[in-house]
Structure 1
């Protein structure tokens, strides 16, 4: 979900926001200048205001908001490690890596979202299953086959 903060990227995020009924004020990712140099330069020269929509992680944060809304969960504080959305992310990552949540190392990403670490072998195993989900149980197998 990371992007470069171009106008095209912002338009996509805004479209998703309209569909799910949230605004940029709901994003808890903070702000930074676009990583796209042309966009950043244009904004600077034209004195354009920055926005959380230009944050490279606004797509990931929008996905977390959409997930919360889909499940009927509160969207406030969705980046709190104790929020049900984060708990689901931790549990899913645990299932895919084979590493219990209790054995993961946790921190905070540059966009304020929880981040976790596992041994490289476990991360590689998770990516291998994404590439070939055939051995995974349902409904994850079907979901991954649909996505990819």
Structure 2
């Protein structure tokens, strides 16, 4: 547990049942750590929290405009959609407009992550599909970019491919970590994924919402566009009952989570970036942690904080809907 501290305790019947450990980093526009708990230097994979940055090369070339995509469709380039019907309709439209065949997507066939959407597909005796995969929008964008640039679209998922090399270059620009120091792995969907210190994830999200910090004009404009797409179409980024979509309804925030408990948030007016990692990978405690961070910094939009508690209340209920316990955010941020 080196570098982690207790973030959330869960009680049942008045007895401590579970403790979620992790680390949090809050940075200013210089990349300096304003507040933290645990180790802000803890290196972790961004997983799907990298998606807005993986979409930057696609948005820089205005692939969406070249193919006449709607804002909802373009937002899927940065999404971890959960397979609701409106997601699949938009994805199928992307494939039609770009001429991409579903079989070209490197992500494996699966069922939607949203349980209701999954049940609907199963009741209809539908097979698993690649477009049901939560990363399919990202894959479609990278294939479309590869074809536009004349790169081999069949190997877009390989680390040495030009599109992946440009993504690493983009991550280095946003995080302030040199390309040589970025940790590399393979994500669940088969694409390369990247590891940097928590404070660097926070800085990347700050630059996303404060693109004036980005020296390159094309990248700066792409950051503005992808942030706007995410805020304008929040339900495309996850689904109607998920943390990312809830936060993105606040136009002052750009936020995205990733597998295994990692999360990044940029606050525009406050010009700060936030990142967190839950060591056991839990996503259920994200709302409690994020709401507590926003309260600590004196965030002015109480509605956003309340929405997080409504999404996953601190009260723990059983299968019969009876309150049987509670969860408590117990960390304190140190300056």
Q: TM-score range by the shorter chain?
A: over 0.9
Q: 2:167 and 2:119 mapped to 1: Cα distance?
A: 36
Q: Tell me the TM-score normalised to structure 1 length.
A: 0.93
Q: Does 1:47 align with 2:98?
A: no
Specify which of 115, 135, 145 is matched with residue 213 of structure 2.
135
Structure 2 spans left out of the alignment, 5+ residues: 1-78, 229-335
**2:116: which partner in 1?**
38
Question: Displacement, 1:144?
Answer: 2.3
**1:126: which partner in 2?**
204
Q: Does 1:97 align with 2:175?
A: yes
Q: Does 1:78 align with 2:141?
A: no
Structure 1 spans left out of the alignment, 5+ residues: none
Q: 1:9 and 1:68 mapped to 2: Cα distance?
A: 23
**1:68: which partner in 2?**
146
| Matched residues, number | 148
Q: Which of the two has greater helix per residue?
A: 1
RMSD after superposition: 1.3
Q: How does 1:108-127 map to 2 (within 5 A)?
A: 108-127=186-205
Q: 2:94 and 2:123 mapped to 1: Cα distance?
A: 29
Q: Does 1:58 align with 2:136?
A: yes
Q: 1:43 and 1:36 mapped to 2: Cα distance?
A: 11
Give the 3-state SS of the residue equivalent to 1:76 in structure 2.
helix
Give the 3-state SS of the residue equivalent to 1:134 in structure 2.
helix
Q: 1:143 and 1:37 mapped to 2: Cα distance?
A: 33
Q: Tell me the TM-score normalised to structure 2 length.
A: 0.43
Q: Which has the larger radius of gyration?
A: 2
Q: 2:112 and 2:225 mapped to 1: Cα distance?
A: 31
List structure 1 segments (4+ residues) > 2 angstroms apart after TM superposition: 142-148
Specify which of 65, 81, 84 is matched with residue 6 of structure 1.
84
Q: Does 1:23 align with 2:77?
A: no
Question: Displacement, 1:146?
Answer: 3.6
**1:144: which partner in 2?**
223
